[in-house]
Chains A and B, each alone.
Chain A
């Protein structure tokens, strides 16, 4: 994806992570990293999924993505238990660059506190934080 995009149906964490709440089961969410995060990192060459069953905490690191030149922590936008990981990324981590909101999803999480989503930003608010100078990743 060459142009910046921040879909309206996602919630955003300031550390450049997104969450998509399941439309039928509100306690289920999919996490990933934003267009800005993947663009800042450059081509992602390594992602090792965390363990299914492990717990994640809002605002804390739960995984890493690596480009050729750098490692970046991936922070959980919401708390819960990982119920599924995107195994395809082990072979095709470039999907995080090409399709950060689709095939580049990282994990699915059963939320322990769905009310935490009130602390996340909508697309317009998140995009505004990036500003002209952006923020570091």
Chain B
């Protein structure tokens, strides 16, 4: 290990595009990433809610599992039932510790009969890859694809129309993946995203990414940074690892029991089954502040609980967030007091999502809304930053 030495931040293949656009670049999980462009977080957020935004999410990790034992490996590692994914399908799941604590949230695409691609959080990639390698036996080959692949998220009610004009075929429906050409480059087109809006994610060769980016931006997608990505996912009540998910919380507390299939015997399944049967003392809820103020991560809930994510909702114009609160006070409409740096703010527990998804503007995606096989608020769940 060379942890004591300063390390250069990693850069995605789109780094020069971000610089040229005047983006504000920050260190994010060891990557130099755009937090916002000169357009500003709020304009980027609104573009995704109302039209189309494009995010560089190439910092996320990709692990490919290939071979007759790939399914068995993924069943053991991830919380969901990977055998339920058809070829060309996608699924959200968790990586858990034996005690049920959450180690990462993942998205797995089944690319072929015995070939799967798993997308991890940037901050968890090395950890996850090590865990995959430790569990992989004969009959499965692991391919570290992070550095050769780039990933773009094109999101918003106008996203499918913009991508569709550049695509060689029909775009995949929600939770599906296809291989086709976009802007003349072969890539995976995924009907996924993490903004609470319709859209697609594109996984392409790193060298192709700048040209594809230019075509999509030219077609009307507004570059959006990680700042807007965070406010969008929070309005949609999607979890962010390291904030709403951690080794100290199990999936039942986090409200992610829907993506745990204990009968598959995944690592942590016994602990999750126990938590599901016995119940949990705290649960993750969505809240909105009544009156002024913005609660932030780490702010205590008076009489028990803690805010795990908090921001101003650009769509609603009020402070919103996610908080772990005692289960008996987790019902919708429950009144909470949140201690915001010494000042008590009144909040209400709200239904998830805080902001509902809009129908796509594109006729192409009209059929995409009925293919969801998991709860709607989580169906569009996607591995975030």
Contact between B40 and A46 (Cβ–Cβ < 8 Å)? Answer: no
Residues of B contacting A2 with CB < 8 Å?
38
A68 and B227 contact, Cβ closer than 8 Å, known pairs A42-B24, A42-B40, A45-B312: yes
Which residue in B24, B41, B292, B293 is a CB contact (below 8 Å) of A68?
B41
Bound Cα distance A66, B42 (Å): 14
A68-B231 contact given A42-B24, A45-B312, CB 8 Å threshold: yes
Residue B271 at the chain A interface, CB threshold 8 Å: no
The smallest C-beta distance from A46 to any residue of chain B, in angstroms, reads 6
A27 contacts B by Cβ under 8 Å? no
Is A48 interfacial (CB 8 A cutoff)?
yes
Return B257 CB to nearest CB of chain A, in Å.
30
The answer to whether B35 touches A43 (Cβ under 8 A) is no
Q: Contact partner of A69 among B35, B38, B293, B341, CB < 8 A?
A: B35
Whether B24 lies near A69 (C-beta < 8 A) is no
A68 with B314, Cβ < 8 A, contacts A42-B41, A46-B293 known = yes
Cβ-closest chain B residue relative to A46: B294
Decide: B42 and A69 in contact? CB cutoff 8 A. Answer: no
Contact B312 A42 (CB under 8 A): no
B40 CB contacts on chain A under 8 angstroms: 42-43
The winner among A45, A67, A68, A90 for most chain B CB atoms within 10 A is A68
Contact with A along B274-301 (1 / 0, CB 8 A): 0000000000000000001110100000
C-alpha spacing A67/B41, complex, angstroms: 10
B36 contacts A46, C-beta separation under 8 Å: no
A residues in contact with B360, CB < 8 Å: none
Contacts of A43 in B (CB 8 A): 40-42
Does B250 sit at the interface, judged by CB under 8 A?
A: no
* Contact between B36 and A42, CB atoms less than 8 A apart: yes
Residues of B within 8 A of A66 (CB): 294, 312
Task: Answer yes or no: A1 CB below 8 A from chain B CBs.
Answer: no
Secondary structure of the B contact surface, majority rule: mixed
- Min Cβ gap B236→A in Å is 16
Contact with B along A14-58 (1 / 0, CB 8 A): 000000000000000000000000000011011010000000000
Q: List the B side residues contacting A69 at CB < 8 Å.
A: 35, 41, 227, 230-231, 311
Identity of the chain A residue whose Cβ is nearest the Cβ of B230 in the assembled complex: A69
CA distance A108 to B177 in the complex (A): 59
**Known contacts A42-B36, A69-B311; A64 and B341 CB within 8 A of each other:** yes
* A2 to B24 CA separation, bound complex (whole angstroms): 14
Q: When the two chains form their complex, are residues B341 and A68 in contact, meaning their CB atoms are under 8 A apart?
A: no
Q: Is A124 in the interface zone, CB < 8 Å from B?
A: no
Least Cβ–Cβ distance between A57 and chain B, in angstroms: 17
B292's contact among A42, A48, A64, by CB below 8 Å, is which? A48
Closest to A66 in B: B294
Whether A71 and B296, one on each chain, are in contact in the complex, defined by CB atoms closer than 8 angstroms, is: yes
A74 to B38, CA, bound (A): 24
Min CB–CB distance A92 → chain B (angstroms): 13
Task: Give per-residue flags for B30-63: 1 if the beta carbon is below 8 A from chain A beta carbons, else 0.
Answer: 0000011010111000000000000000000000
Given A43-B40, A43-B42, A68 contacting B311 (CB threshold 8 A): yes
Residue numbers in A under 8 Å from B41 (CB-CB): 42-43, 67-69
In angstroms, Cα B40 to Cα A71, docked, is 17
Known: A42-B24, A42-B36. 18 other contacts (CB 8 A): A42-B35, A42-B40, A42-B227, A43-B42, A45-B294, A45-B312, A46-B292, A46-B293, A46-B294, A46-B312, A48-B292, A48-B293, A64-B341, A67-B41, A68-B42, A69-B227, A69-B231, A71-B341
Interface residues of A (CB under 8 A from B): 2, 42-43, 45-46, 48, 64, 66-69, 71, 90
- Residue positions of B touching A, CB distance < 8 A: 24, 35-36, 38, 40-42, 227, 230-231, 292-294, 296, 311-312, 314, 341
A-B contacts, 7 of them at CB < 8 A, read A42-B36, A43-B41, A64-B341, A68-B231, A69-B41, A69-B231, A69-B311
